[in-house]
Structure 1
């Protein structure tokens, strides 16, 4: 199938309507299989999914190396996004910090380019906003990377509307990446209208609710010991899981009536929210990549969108998106 290309913001970026989140290929969702992950990346390109998303902290840099090595011979097909700002230390597995200091911005970019084995990054995001560094200073340093030809477009992730406005005055922001799905809709109130006012594209991550909206995870599911979901994400634990399961059951019923999979319904809902939105569902397996791409063929009527939203009321989801530490890194 020919996947539609859309403008991401108004700065000139053009991406495939659906992207591919690469994080889980190297960490957080169980055991790695680099061979299958590489095959998934190449299959994505064959299908026309050319908007690839990684970050310097995924697998402590391993994910950038995997993506860069795999796409090297097909670089001209790819619109590649990566991120900086989150800090980790292999000797302290539980440590997460944030830096938006100008000198660090430049160091992080050079390190990412080395791992990727590329001469430029198409879209460079600040992964989380550093509360101790004015956004003007961080974006100012990012703008220098554009002047140097190391980066084409700039992005932010999990930033508030006020921060987006301040950043955009320093250098045009092409895209905001923030969690968005039928069970995470906080951006609809203020952030999405701000993006559309300023001509900034929107890239939802976790549009499948970290796999929960596919209907394949229940309280009886034995997640791998290396899977962060029951540790880092309260929605997957205890009573929250039981309550959220009822909601997913409603989505499954709607999907079955439509003759599609629950995950495809969840993605179709995101696509229905605007032609300026390019979600990046993540997977490390070709099978699920192909299922996600097939969601592009699912068209929802306004009545079906309303039915889905009635089945998953905004305030009915049990549990925060992240644990306490993770929630502190999200601007409100």
Structure 2
């Protein structure tokens, strides 16, 4: 597994990262705990070093799962990217974001305990808190870096102005944000800002929550524990239109001797050495499919064919429900 560096001052990580969110029940369906742990082990054994989670995934379940999976592994063999601050309610639902300095430190001690580690490698607010200046939040993370509990500052789903303000307080290693063939809103302003400042990107949603994986079909909507039916891109005529794009992409992939998922992941990786695709594999089967994407080289002609199959802006429907779109720094 090759490596890439997250920004000028960030760590070297594997070309692909592992996103653990989907291993928590209630996201994309119910999971097998043993299979989830085996998938983490397989990812590490394959050379993936970056693992992404958040303290609100399953109200801490995801971190406890990773804590179990990582037990006994050398601490310097993996890097943990942890998001914090999302406020949950019993019975489900969000009630905002808390990025106050005191809350930063409170969330951190709980994450360290659940993960069973003495530090996290990249610590980032899950979303912007409109009531707390980003400078105060980053200042609190800097204090935790100075104290040895955190190694690097990260950001998630924020726009160019917030990136600049945060970076002025302490160097930011990377921005985690959705980026895929059908989610390209970062290209006009956010991506140039990152490159100007020497900040990396960890791109999540590279398969758009499975929509452009080549495996999802409308027949899967509504199965127990799968919340994708709430998302506009997975609904009705939007889904039909978007699946037609997937079929066009499939023809390009087959000509390249790759799967749709591999081609979509490789497209993100091809957008720059400063971008690390985070793959949300929930099983060893899906992980095994994703791994070859790290070595799939796309020529200029390949990229042109992919663009023809899935033109920029071709997808229909927002990437989140309307209420959630207001919490992200860029649109679709």
Deviates more, 1:240-249 or 1:176-185: 240-249
Q: Which residue of 1 aligns with 2:192?
A: 193
Structure 2 contact 7–200 (Cα < 8 Å) conserved: yes
TM-score relative to the length of structure 2: 0.96
SS in 2 for 1:15: strand
SS in 2 for 1:104: helix
Is 1:81–2:81 an aligned residue pair? yes
Q: Which residue of 1 aligns with 2:275?
A: 277
Q: Deviations over 1:163-192 (max 9, x none)?
A: 000000011110100000000001111111
Structure 1 runs not aligned, ≥5 long: none
Structure 1 contact 31–224 (Cα < 8 Å) conserved: no
Structure 2 contact 14–49 (Cα < 8 Å) conserved: yes
Distance 2:18 2:3 in 1: 14
SS in 1 for 2:276: coil
Is 1:324–2:322 an aligned residue pair? yes
Structure 2 contact 200–274 (Cα < 8 Å) conserved: yes
Distance 1:12 1:200 in 2: 8
Q: Which residue of 1 aligns with 2:57?
A: 58
SS in 2 for 1:230: helix
Distance 1:149 1:272 in 2: 34
Is 1:240–2:238 an aligned residue pair? yes
SS in 1 for 2:135: helix
Q: Deviations over 1:66-96 (max 9, x none)?
A: 112211211221011111011112x241234
Q: Deviations over 1:206-228 (max 9, x none)?
A: 10111111121222335522101
SS in 2 for 1:264: helix
Is 1:174–2:169 an aligned residue pair? no
Deviation at 1:44, TM superposition (A): 0.5
Distance 1:262 1:187 in 2: 22
Q: Which residue of 2 aligns with 1:107?
A: 106
Deviation at 1:283, TM superposition (A): 1.4
Q: Which residue of 2 aligns with 1:206?
A: 205
Q: Which residue of 2 aligns with 1:26?
A: 24
Deviates more, 1:209-218 or 1:110-119: 209-218
Structure 1 contact 179–206 (Cα < 8 Å) conserved: yes
Distance 1:313 1:274 in 2: 19
TM-score relative to the length of structure 1: 0.96
Q: Deviations over 1:95-135 (max 9, x none)?
A: 34111111111100111111111100001111101111111
SS in 2 for 1:67: helix
Structure 1 contact 155–177 (Cα < 8 Å) conserved: yes
Aligned pair count reads: 328
Q: CA RMSD in A?
A: 1.1
Structure 2 runs not aligned, ≥5 long: none
SS in 1 for 2:54: coil
Distance 2:162 2:106 in 1: 23
